Structure 1
């Protein structure tokens, strides 16, 4: 089992954030996690990566049960891209793109330990595969938003992780840059030894053809979990996101629209 959560709850300052979460991710599955703001998506990721600790329940990741595992060593088997990672690198804007990528070897912010020649070559190979060879030695500050996102994804992939977490990886991107990054994710997922993916988003249309399953969260609880065709229905999506929606499928992706009735309600000031 890649991830196994049994009756997991989490609270902060005595406020319930996640309640009674039971969820399993099996080898070969690729998951999207979808929910409105405040539904508990990022808190769930922090529990899975050991940056927060559950108030109750049992968590197992990559066969290791929390409470009896070296979390730092486990994190080396997990790649994670998030807005918070970008924020932490704002103190290192002068760092070359290739160094940002190679810092993933030790899961550090910046390069603080010895890097082997093989590590450096792997970083450059990842830069090429992401279309970043022209900025490999440019400082982070000179990269576009799309290039920064690709650099952080390459950083997450440098240790060939068994689990890859992309937390709102397209935030801040325009439509063109978003679609280019999503194409990169789809290409990665079609490789023979692709990592298991957890793709966290607010936007159903970012759920790619190679993503097989969806976890829907609502107010800290599991609303639905299973194959995407069964979970991404108009009724469930509407309940999760809190407004009437329709779902249409095109090119293997779900496209969600507000219903005409809802649009009329907005026009009337309702």
Structure 2
């Protein structure tokens, strides 16, 4: 579904992405793991053309960037990241229902009366994900975790073929983080989960790519990549990985 070939991204003479090669197939859920500043967000921002690679090629759903109508590609992908904050002036005036409804047509804000079909679909969707009771709450009064769930639901309601979550738990306390992770573990969309925290690795993750200093340190099946050796190289620490009762990995510094 997604293939990056020999991707370079250079800004102000600094190489932020250095010869990235990565292929993500259908029915794979990927963890993108690396320290802050390793190039994780930069790489996947290329998909929505928030930035454009200095060199290399990108193919998504069989369409090559620069040779295809990329709007057709973007319609099949949803990204939830901190860049959504630039729309807070609009979100803060809206209810949870209005925010999720706007995701049906991938618009920011509601500017016309919704159809009966869209209204019914949105209400049923909120019920499905146990958020119906929040439908009339203003976004402005939600907790950080509730805001994040509202934005994730906004992205999910259009049933994207790929859902990209960029540091979705970065601003959450422990309780809110666990609520979001519990919610995400049962999603059946193709998921790309970007984080610097290995403890957020969901049980449904099948593949992992480790990024360090703009380069791929390791990639492949989860069990082959999440090893003591690889993680020690990634974080420049002597680490040992083990699994808790929730089947999520944690590391111990030796």
TM-score by length of 2: 0.93
Match of 2:201 among 202, 207, 221: 207
Equivalent residues of 2:32, 2:211 under 8 A apart: yes
Can you list the C-alpha shifts for 1:94-130, whole angstroms capped at 9, x where unaligned? 2111111122223232234664332222222222233
- Does 246-255 or 162-171 show the bigger shift? 246-255
Unaligned runs of 5+ in 1: 189-193, 260-270
Equivalent residues of 1:127, 1:151 under 8 A apart: no
Equivalent residues of 2:90, 2:109 under 8 A apart: no
- Does 78-87 or 24-33 show the bigger shift? 78-87
Distance in 2 between residues matched to 1:102 and 1:72, nearest whole Å = 21
> 1:86 Cα deviation (Å)?
3.4
Task: Find out whether 1:254 has 2:253 as its counterpart.
Answer: no
Distance 1:105 1:71, change over 3 A: farther
Distance in 1 between residues matched to 2:218 and 2:232, nearest whole Å = 12
Tell me the equivalent position of 2:189: 195
> 1:202 Cα deviation (Å)?
1.0
Tell me the equivalent position of 2:167: 168
Q: What does 1:113-192 correspond to in 2, within 5 Å?
A: 115-188=114-187
Q: What does 1:18-29 correspond to in 2, within 5 Å?
A: 18-29=17-28
Q: Secondary structure at the match of 1:187?
A: coil
Distance in 2 between residues matched to 1:128 and 1:86, nearest whole Å = 26
> 1:147 Cα deviation (Å)?
1.1
Unaligned runs of 5+ in 2: none
Distance in 1 between residues matched to 2:61 and 2:124, nearest whole Å = 27
TM-score by length of 1: 0.88
Q: What does 1:67-78 correspond to in 2, within 5 Å?
A: 67-78=66-77
Distance in 1 between residues matched to 2:123 and 2:43, nearest whole Å = 32
Match of 1:216 among 203, 210, 214: 210
Alpha-carbon RMSD across the aligned residues, in angstroms, is 1.6
Tell me the equivalent position of 1:265: none
How many residue pairs match? The answer is 253
Q: Secondary structure at the match of 1:239?
A: helix
Q: What does 1:86-97 correspond to in 2, within 5 Å?
A: 86-97=85-96
Tell me the equivalent position of 1:264: none
Tell me the equivalent position of 1:191: none
Equivalent residues of 2:90, 2:108 under 8 A apart: no
